[in-house]
Every structure is written in structure tokens, then in C-alpha cells.
């Protein structure tokens, strides 16, 4: 059973979940928080909260946490590639599809980004359309734009 911690800040309500000493889920503002959210505070949850807050304040550019996102083999490939996108940079869905050797799988890459259980930690917000337009983000396009702006500062 996962342990949860709710974080409230100027961005909204977040809920972090760990299972077997690995971060497995981040609920972002706009998402329905799990009903079983308790305020358990383990050292890993404290570290995850601290790192997330530092990131949202523009003081952290990468995370140092054990991540355990659950998904298909394809999703895992996409998420691994997302982790290679440097802070402050973006990639298109097309480029990501090409990087994982599936050049025609742009839409599937988009769905894998949408199903990313650890947004921000696995930076799916850094993925944009080939023409540079912002598309899809579980937290909404306003939050996606805000995250990208934060990383440009």
C-alpha cells in the first residue's frame, strides 16, 4: 500500500506517493487526490517534497530520487527518454518517437506522456508539438506553460 503526503503551495495541491521506498506517483493540481491520502511523513517523502518545492521555486534543475513509474514497456521507453531532456529544453513528440526507434508513433508517445505517473519528476511538460505549439498536459496547458517558463528563467 502506498504512503502519501499532500503538499500545498502557490502552485496548488500536490500529493506524492511512495511504494517500497520509491516514488511511484505524483498527483498535480487539477487532479483528484486519492481518498486514502494521509499525511505520512517518511524520509523519502520528505526528500521528494523538498526537491519538488526547490524545483517549483527555480532552485533545482534535476531530481535525485528513486522513481518507480508503472507502465507498459513502450511507456517505460518514452519515460526513460523524457528523463534525457535537459532542464529548460523541449523536444517534439516526433523527436521522441524517433529516439525510441518508432518514428511513426507520435500519438502513442503523446499518450505515454499523458499517462506518465510522475509528471515534473519525469518531465513530460518538456514535450511539445513539432510546430512548437503546446499540446496536452494532465495539469492543463496553463500549468505546462508555467513550468516551461519557470525553466527558462
Residue 64 lies in a domain: no
Active-site residue numbers? 124
Residue 77: CB atoms within 10 A of its CB come to 19
148 vs 153: CA distance, rounded Å: 9
Residues 11 and 52 in one domain: yes
Per DSSP, 95 falls in state H
This model's pTM is above 0.75: yes
Q: What is the pLDDT along the chain (153 residues), one digit of tens a residue?
A: 788 888 889 999 999 999 999 999 999 998 888 877 665 678 999 999 999 999 999 999 999 999 999 999 999 999 999 999 999 999 999 999 999 999 999 999 999 999 999 999 999 999 999 888 888 888 888 999 999 999 998
Domains contained in the chain, number: 2
Per DSSP, 119 falls in state B
Residues 33 and 86 in one domain: no
Q: In which domain, by residue range, is 91 found?
A: 73-152
C-alpha cell at 59: 532552485
Residues 87 and 141 in one domain: yes
Amino acid at each position: 500500500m502506498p504512503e502519501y503526503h499532500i503538499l500545498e503551495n502557490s502552485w496548488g495541491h500536490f500529493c506524492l506517493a511512495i511504494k517500497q521506498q520509491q516514488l511511484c506517483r505524483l498527483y498535480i493540481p487539477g487532479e483528484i487526490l486519492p481518498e486514502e491520502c494521509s499525511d505520512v511523513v517518511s524520509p523519502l517523502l520528505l526528500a521528494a517534497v523538498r526537491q519538488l518545492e526547490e524545483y517549483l521555486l527555480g532552485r533545482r534543475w534535476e531530481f535525485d530520487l528513486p522513481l518507480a513509474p508503472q507502465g507498459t514497456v513502450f511507456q517505460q521507453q518514452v519515460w526513460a527518454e523524457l528523463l534525457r531532456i535537459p532542464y529548460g529544453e523541449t523536444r517534439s513528440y516526433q523527436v521522441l518517437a524517433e529516439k525510441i526507434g518508432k518514428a511513426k508513433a507520435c500519438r502513442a508517445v503523446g499518450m505515454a506522456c499523458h499517462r506518465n505517473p510522475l509528471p515534473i519528476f519525469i518531465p513530460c511538460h518538456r514535450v511539445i508539438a513539432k510546430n512548437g505549439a503546446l499540446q496536452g498536459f494532465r495539469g492543463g496547458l496553463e500549468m505546462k506553460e508555467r513550468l516551461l517558463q519557470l525553466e527558462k528563467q
